[in-house]
Chains A and B, each alone.
Chain A
Amino acid sequence: MFWVHFSGQRIDKLDGKHTAGKGTYSKNGFIIASLAGFVHHTQKDGDMTEIEVRTEVEDGIVPSVNSYRDSKGKMSARQKRIRWKCTNVFALVTPYWPEFEEGFTMVPISWCEMKCPKSHSTEFRKVAKLRPEYIEAPGIS
């Protein structure tokens, strides 16, 4: 069940039970829509409910891990484009920096670079074809 919401519209009170998710921002104790779209409530740990506003255009500025793209396609952050081109299964991956025994997940800092939070070494972000047995991310089988 969801409702249509518009930019600037109050959705709910920002109390201990609701958090502002994507497509919203919080101000003066309220959760306010920053996009025009549909409201989704997601149950989080405990009693928390995350409130999101989703449009028909899904986008993120930095390509997220596991966003698939065509091997020939141009680098593009718009996930809608990426989603359309899922012919060859290539994934944008975030490797572990192997300096320490357990490894640290590298953090994307721009379109093409990522950084290890511990050693601060910078690497280019990788696109790789993965063997299924090495995939640890959710949403991939």
Chain B
Amino acid sequence: MAGMELLSDEGFRIDGRRPNELRRIQCRMGVFAQADGSAYIEHGNTKVLAAVYGPHDIQGSKGRAAVHDIAFINCQYSMATFSTGERKQRPRGDRKSQEMTHHLKQTFDGAILTHLYPHSQIDIYVEVLQSDGGNYCASVNAATLALIDAGIPMKDYVCACSASFIDETPLMDINYTEESSATPQLIVSILPKSEHLVFVEMNSRLHEDQLSRVLDIAVKGCSDIYHILDRAVKEHLMEASIPLSSDT
């Protein structure tokens, strides 16, 4: 990647965005009829599908790991073979997917009101259809929409955004090229109303002095995403509830 200019002299990034701009986000809720809740989201060229099942009785060997006075959150993250530039078979046990699954579980354990559903399990399935950086962020945002679609009580939305630091400039919502060029990467997910951090991850090295600036731009990205998701939910809800609201 030597010689590649990630931030031009004019202050534009490789895909033409300014440092504090998100990629275009498009989303749809209720894409599947069979799942209890589902959603599709696009962050620029990253495309993710999420489906939520439950709450239902605990199934299979998961029962042993579950605590019985709260709901057990079962996540599964997978990437389609055609999602990356090079076609690659990724079985479910893939280390990277396992780690991502674990991160998603941590995130939603902190946001779903699990104490309302003892003895039960909530499944979150996330499939990355096209990967262009920020897979975790798109997965979290898609899963949030799917959970809302399924009517599962949450403290708040969960919104995730990544950030980087290139040429003394903090960058919001980085894409694959920026992600893979040995730059620091900070991934954050927050509960936007209270601005509580649910999940923070840092890859590569970043000087401590810059951390707060990068964190600020990531949190700003999360709250921008929140407004987009909120609008989508509002539209979906009004659409879905018109016949219902008239008879109550």
Q: Is A57 an interface residue (CB 8 A)?
A: yes
Beta-carbon nearest neighbor of B152 in chain A: A35
Interface residues on B, range: 20 to 34
Q: B151 near A57 (CB under 8 angstroms)? A: yes
Q: B240 near A56 (CB under 8 angstroms)? A: yes
Mark out the residues of chain B between 121 and 155 whose CB falls within 8 Å of any chain A CB in the assembled complex: 148, 150-155
Q: A25 near B155 (CB under 8 angstroms)? A: yes
Residues from chain B with Cβ under 8 Å of A10 in the complex? 193
Residues from chain A with Cβ under 8 Å of B194 in the complex? 8
Which stretch, B72-80, B82-90, B230-238, touches the partner chain A? B230-238
Q: B233 near A77 (CB under 8 angstroms)? A: no
Q: A56 near B234 (CB under 8 angstroms)? A: no
Q: Known interface pairs A6-B230, A8-B193. Does A38 touch B245 (Cβ–Cβ under 8 Å)?
A: yes
Q: A61 near B191 (CB under 8 angstroms)? A: no
Q: Known interface pairs A4-B234, A8-B192. Does A110 touch B119 (Cβ–Cβ under 8 Å)?
A: yes
Q: Is A95 an interface residue (CB 8 A)?
A: no
Closest Cβ of chain B to A37, distance in Å, is 7
Interface residues on A, range: 20 to 34
Q: B156 near A59 (CB under 8 angstroms)? A: no
Residues from chain B with Cβ under 8 Å of A36 in the complex? 148, 151, 233, 237
Residues from chain B with Cβ under 8 Å of A7 in the complex? 148, 153-157
Q: Is A43 an interface residue (CB 8 A)?
A: no
Partner of B119, one of A23, A32, A111: A111
Complex CA distance for A4 and B55, rounded to whole angstroms:
24
Beta-carbon nearest neighbor of A34 in chain B: B153
Q: A25 near B153 (CB under 8 angstroms)? A: yes
Residues from chain A with Cβ under 8 Å of B234 in the complex? 4, 6
Q: A4 near B113 (CB under 8 angstroms)? A: no
